[in-house]
Amino acid sequence: MTTVNIELPEIPGVKEWRWAATEGCAPLSRKVFKKWLFKVGASHLEEDATLLFSELFSNALRYPPPDRLIPTRWLVLPDGIRVEVDDASSQDPVVSSPEEEAESGRGLILVHLLAARWGVKHRRFNDGKGNYLSGKTVWFELRK
Q: Are 60 and 70 in contact (CB under 8 A)?
A: yes
Cα separation, 21 vs 44, in Å, equals 28
Tell me what pLDDT residue 82 has. Answer: 98
**Which residues constitute the domain of residue 114?**
5-143
3-state secondary structure of 36: helix
How far, in Å, are 11, 24, 120 from residue 61 at the CA level? 25, 11, 17
Cβ-proximal residues to 105 (8 Å cutoff; 6+ apart), any chain: 96, 98
The pLDDT score that the predictor gives to residue 3 is 54
pLDDT of residue 1: 46
d(CA 111, CA 120): 12
Mean pLDDT of residues grouped by 10 in the chain (144 residues)?
55 86 94 96 96 95 89 95 95 73 69 94 84 92 95
User: What pTM, to 2 d.p., does this model score?
Assistant: 0.85
Q: How many domains does the chain fold into?
A: 1
Whole-number pLDDT of residue 4: 56
Give the angle 117-102-52 at the CA atoms, nearest 5°: 25
CATH number of the domain to which 73 belongs? 3.30.565.10
